[in-house]
Amino acid sequence: MNTYFFADTAVLLGRSLRHITRSMDTIITTTLMPVGFLLLFVYVFGGAIHTGSESYVGYLLPGILIITIASGISYTAFRLFLDMQSGIFERFQSMPIARSSVLWAHVLTSLVANMVSVAVVVLVGLAMGFRSGAGVLEWLAVAGILLLLTLALTWIAVIPGLTAKSADGASAFAYPLIFLPFISSAFVPTATMPGPVRWFAENQPVTSIVDSIRNLLAQQPVGTGIWVALAWCVGILVVAYFFAMAAYRKKIS
């Protein structure tokens, strides 16, 4: 059964990736907004923001990468919704393939597309002056955190992709996720925020994730923050996967 699952998923993954290569505007669109934020905050607001860091682009980049992922997964929900509406899922169910492979193909496509977008944003950051002395292990740790976060948020995206009543509704869920980094340490230190906002910013998942990535790239001690970040990612992943599979089973039953 596992052999069939992997083979079926690989075939359906190839199908989804071909759709993306024929519509590169998806990746371009999900990359343009984060790049726009990066340019805006560095060149317009950067001079007025004091972070205690030598380079504001280096301080800002981890948060922009989170926004890139949050923007990208909205297209996962959109593509999944379109497949549901077109009846392609019903056709797949009539074929001798592993049922969950259809969802996993969309999830893996999201991972590939989002990592391409993240790479583009990092390259733009390098062009703007971002530099890091981090070694291979630190970069691998950063990539691992981003992949785990993407996987967790993608399974969240699966839920509206399966249950939404319209294409706009399927992708609109990502807006709060895109907004969440603004109330975190992504753009400014949380110490500058008023009491209740500061408490929320310091105890929501984006702050621990951003701080861990920033410390890894700056070769600073990560402390227990990285375990908090990983716990958030794994916790979100487990809960989202449970509800997504429940929605999928209900949809195909």
Task: Convert the pLDDT of each residue in 185-224 to its tens digit.
Answer: 999 999 889 999 999 999 999 999 999 999 999 989 888 9
Higher-scoring residue by pLDDT: 41, 22: 41
Read off the tokens for 166.
């319209």
Q: How far apart are CA 206 and CA 181, in angstroms?
A: 6
Task: Convert the pLDDT of each residue in 165-191 to its tens digit.
Answer: 887 888 887 888 889 999 999 999 998
Q: Sign of dihedral through CA atoms 163, 206, 130, 151? A: negative
- Read off the pLDDT band of 163 (50, 70, 90): confident
- Inter-CA distances, 63 with 98, 122, 197, 210, 240, Å: 37, 12, 18, 6, 22
How confident is the prediction for the chain on average, in pLDDT? 86
Give me the residue spans of the domains in the chain.
2-252
Task: Convert the pLDDT of each residue in 134-150 to its tens digit.
Answer: 899 999 999 999 999 99
Query: Global pTM?
Result: 0.89
Read off the tokens for 247.
């929605």
